[in-house]
């Protein structure tokens, strides 16, 4: 039994079958990569996991509980954090505030009326956020306006916002897209370090095979909304079905 169990999930957009009978099992404390050509339904699958979309049929169980029908904030409070394909950050807030907000969510739950004390007086939160910025090597950008960061830094910030919550399951949708090679390698190192240090499960969508093979323990190949195979990285290289998926896409 994996920490995340997706069974028979279907999702249609009008005439388009975005997900067709998807089954996926992600084991606890592993890194599971989901790869596949553009439009394969990878992001749609993540959307079904975090409450952004509701599948037409099927079940999604996390940690023994169904996530279907729950609101996004409830699903996050269960222990699932997500990095989006296009970075979702609080652009109008400072970098440190961006990291403090998830700390508050983690400590105080979905809502708490703390309207009197200043933000700075919450010493533990400030410390936690600053440590996280140190971990992602962004401490020098602490007081910058998040909206003015480079694309790569926005991704790193979003990742920091998810990691600081210490989630049980971290969903990463192309975390290194748009990053320079050096930043990509830093990200790989960061994720490796996190994985070694904490009990965390990751599901990662990536087009960059270097990232996939550096991190993943299991790989699922998705094509046209359906999983083709699930294998270890060693067995997936040069697998005919994988070739077929990518080449088939190219021919169409």
Partner 1 sequence: MFGLNQKDTKFLLIVVTLTLLTPFLLNPFPTDSAMAQFNAGYPALMQRFAIYGLMAIGFNILFGLTGYLSFGHAAFLGVGSYSAVWMFKLLSMNILPAIILAMIVSGLFALAIGYISLRRSGIYFSILTLAFAEMSYRLAYSVLTPITNGETGLQLNLNDPRVLDGVADTSSLPVPGLFGLKMNSTYTLDIGAWSFDFNVGFYVCAVIAILGFYMSLRIFRSPFGMMLRAVKSNQQRMNYTGLNSRPYTLAAFVISGIYAGLAGALLAAMDPLAGAERMQWTASGEVVLMTILGGAGTLMGPVLGAGFIKYCENIFSKINETILHSWFSFLPDSLESVVVWFFARFVGEGWHLTLGVLFMLIVIFLPGGLVEGGQRIASWWKNRGKDEDSSNQPAE
Ligand X SMILES: Nc1ncnc2c1ncn2[C@@H]1O[C@H](COP(=O)(O)OP(=O)(O)OP(=O)(O)O)[C@@H](O)[C@H]1O
> Considering the rule CB under 6 A, would residue 31 count as an interface residue with ligand X?
no
Instruction: Kindly state the helix (H) or strand (E) to which residue 131 belongs, with its residue range.
Output: helix 123-135
CB 27 within 8 A of CB 202: no
Task: Name which position in 14, 38, 120, 143 contacts partner 1 (CB under 8 A).
Answer: 120
> Considering the rule CB under 5 A, would residue 201 count as an interface residue with Mg ion?
no
Of 12-20, 140-148, 154-162, 235-243: span binding ligand X (CB under 6 A): 12-20
> Considering the rule CB under 8 A, would residue 123 count as an interface residue with partner 1?
no
Return the number of other C-beta atoms located less than 10 Å from residue 9's C-beta: 24
CB 232 within 8 A of CB 217: yes
Task: Name which position in 43, 76, 81, 176 contacts Mg ion (CB under 5 A).
Answer: 43
Report d(CA 156, CA 189) in Å as an integer: 12
> Considering the rule CB under 8 A, would residue 104 count as an interface residue with partner 1?
yes
Task: Name which position in 161, 169, 202, 222 contacts partner 1 (CB under 8 A).
Answer: 161
Q: Identify which of 158, 157, 195 has the alpha carbon closest to the alpha carbon of residue 31.
A: 195
Which of ligand X, Mg ion, partner 1, none does residue 216 bind to, with CB < 5 to 8 Å depending on kind? none
* Contacts with 181 (C-beta within 8 Å, 6 or more apart), sequence order: none
- Contact set with partner 1 (CB under 8 A): 50, 52, 71-73, 76-77, 81-82, 84, 88-93, 97, 100-102, 104-106, 109-120, 122, 125, 161, 165
- Contact set with Mg ion (CB under 5 A): 43, 85
């Amino acid at each position: 039994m994996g920490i995340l169990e997706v069974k028979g999930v279907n999702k249609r957009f009008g005439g388009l079958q975005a997900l067709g009978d998807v089954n996926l099992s992600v084991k606890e404390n592993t890194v599971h990569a989901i790869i596949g050509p553009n439009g394969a339904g990878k992001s749609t699958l993540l959307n079904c996991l975090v409450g952004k979309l509701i599948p037409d049929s099927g079940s999604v169980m996390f940690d023994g509980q169904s996530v279907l029908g729950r609101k996004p904030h409830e699903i996050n409070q269960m222990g699932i954090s997500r990095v989006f394909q296009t970075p979702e950050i609080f652009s109008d807030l400072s970098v440190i505030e961006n990291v403090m907000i998830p700390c508050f969510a983690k400590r105080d739950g979905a809502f708490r009326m703390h309207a009197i004390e200043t933000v700075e007086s919450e010493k533990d939160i400030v410390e936690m956020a600053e440590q996280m910025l140190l971990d992602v090597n962004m401490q020098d950008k602490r007081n910058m306006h998040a909206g003015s960061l480079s694309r790569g830094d926005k991704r790193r910030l979003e990742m920091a916002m998810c990691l600081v919550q210490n989630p049980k399951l971290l969903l990463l949708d192309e975390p290194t897209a748009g990053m320079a090679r050096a930043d990509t390698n830093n990200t790989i190192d960061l994720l490796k370090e996190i994985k070694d240090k904490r009990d965390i499960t990751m599901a990662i969508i990536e087009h960059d095979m270097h990232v996939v093979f550096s991190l993943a323990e299991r790989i699922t190949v998705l094509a046209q909304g359906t999983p083709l195979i699930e294998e270890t990285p060693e067995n997936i290289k040069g697998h005919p079905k994988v070739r077929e998926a990518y080449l088939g896409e190219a021919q169409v």
